[in-house]
């Protein structure tokens, strides 16, 4: 039986990958409207593969995906039209265009994007290629959230960014969840992510090893880090210059 209408996003026994052998196996997870959920794990765990399969960019090799209570088999562009937003780790922005033009290409009003991220207002006429990495990622999230999606997928917001910038991005994602969006993030910075999330899943070797509330996972973090996240960098990642 399908999940009830308004159930956000769910997958059951998902298998997906880039060749004949799946990179993820039997992954079952869900995110409901008003929730922020983290997928944690080391490099190569299958976190990004899971998001790409949920978004419709990778075909399923097994299992099922449900979006808003219905079994989902449409391609990614149709899921986007139906209310699924995907902020990739590559910062999906047009470097040669201005911030204002990038926002115009989104599905939501520029005014709402600037309400969400007022830091972009003085940068509207600046070419995106001249922005810092954190500003580019804020632009990516602002454009996605201005469309008022039902579901937001965000992949590795922390990649190469200063801790304060990551906090700002996670605050944006948390605000979206509080406004009723189902937010699912992939993140290596487990401690920071769990401060903002309601629940989490730990992936390793393409499988869900643990799941629980943010509080439960925080209580187990030393064990989780030693057992499952040892492949992830223990030190802070290289930080970009966040000056404008």
Q: What is the pLDDT of residues 40-80, one digit of tens each?
A: 999 899 999 999 999 999 999 999 999 999 999 999 999 99
236 domain residue, yes or no? no
pLDDT at 125: 97
Domain encompassing residue 34: 9-227
Average pLDDT for the chain: 90
pLDDT at 243: 40
Q: What percentage of the chain carries pLDDT values higher than 70?
A: 92
156 domain residue, yes or no? yes
34 domain residue, yes or no? yes
pLDDT at 6: 52
pLDDT at 161: 82
Condensed to tens digits (0 to 9), the pLDDT of residues 124-142 reads: 999 999 999 999 999 999 9
Structural contact between residues 172 and 144, judged by C-beta atoms closer than 8 angstroms: no
Structural contact between residues 188 and 42, judged by C-beta atoms closer than 8 angstroms: yes
For residue 57, the 8-state DSSP code is S
CATH at 213: 3.40.50.300
How distant, in Å, are the alpha carbons of 20, 33, 135 from that of 57?
16, 22, 26
Q: What pTM, to 2 d.p., does this model score?
A: 0.89
Both tokens assigned to 126: 């600046």
pLDDT at 20: 86
233 domain residue, yes or no? no
1 domain residue, yes or no? no
Number of domains within the chain: 1
Who contacts 161 (Cβ-Cβ below 8 Å, separation ≥6)? 133, 134, 137, 169, 237, 239, 240, 242
Q: What percentage of the chain carries pLDDT values higher than 90?
A: 79
Structural contact between residues 91 and 137, judged by C-beta atoms closer than 8 angstroms: yes
Parallel, antiparallel or unpaired: strands 60-67 and 9-16: antiparallel
232 domain residue, yes or no? no
243 domain residue, yes or no? no
The pLDDT of residue 237 is above 70:
no
13 domain residue, yes or no? yes
Structural contact between residues 160 and 239, judged by C-beta atoms closer than 8 angstroms: yes
């Amino acid at each position: 039986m399908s999940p009830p209408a308004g159930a956000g996003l769910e997958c059951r026994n998902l298998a997906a990958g880039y060749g004949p052998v799946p990179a993820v196996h039997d992954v079952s997870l869900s995110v409901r409207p008003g929730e922020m959920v983290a997928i944690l794990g080391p490099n190569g765990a299958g976190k990004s593969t899971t998001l790409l399969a949920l978004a419709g960019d990778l075909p399923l090799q097994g299992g099922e995906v449900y979006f808003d209570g219905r079994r989902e088999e449409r391609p990614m562009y149709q899921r986007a039209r139906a209310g699924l937003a995907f902020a990739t780790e590559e910062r999906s922005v047009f470097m040669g265009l201005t911030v204002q033009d990038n926002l115009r290409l989104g599905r939501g009003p520029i005014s709402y994007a600037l309400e969400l991220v007022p830091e972009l207002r003085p940068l509207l006429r600046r070419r995106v290629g001249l922005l810092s990495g954190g500003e580019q990622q804020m632009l990516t999230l602002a454009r996605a959230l201005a469309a008022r999606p039902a579901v937001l997928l965000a992949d590795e917001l922390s990649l190469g960014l200063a801790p304060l910038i990551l906090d700002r991005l996670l605050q944006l994602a948390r605000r979206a969840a509080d406004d009723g969006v189902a937010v699912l993030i992939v993140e290596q910075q487990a401690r920071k992510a769990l401060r903002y999330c309601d629940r989490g899943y730990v992936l390793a070797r393409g499988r869900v090893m643990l799941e629980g509330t943010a509080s439960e996972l925080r209580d187990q973090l030393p064990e989780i880090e030693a057992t499952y996240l040892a492949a992830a960098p223990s030190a802070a990642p290289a930080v970009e210059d966040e000056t404008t």
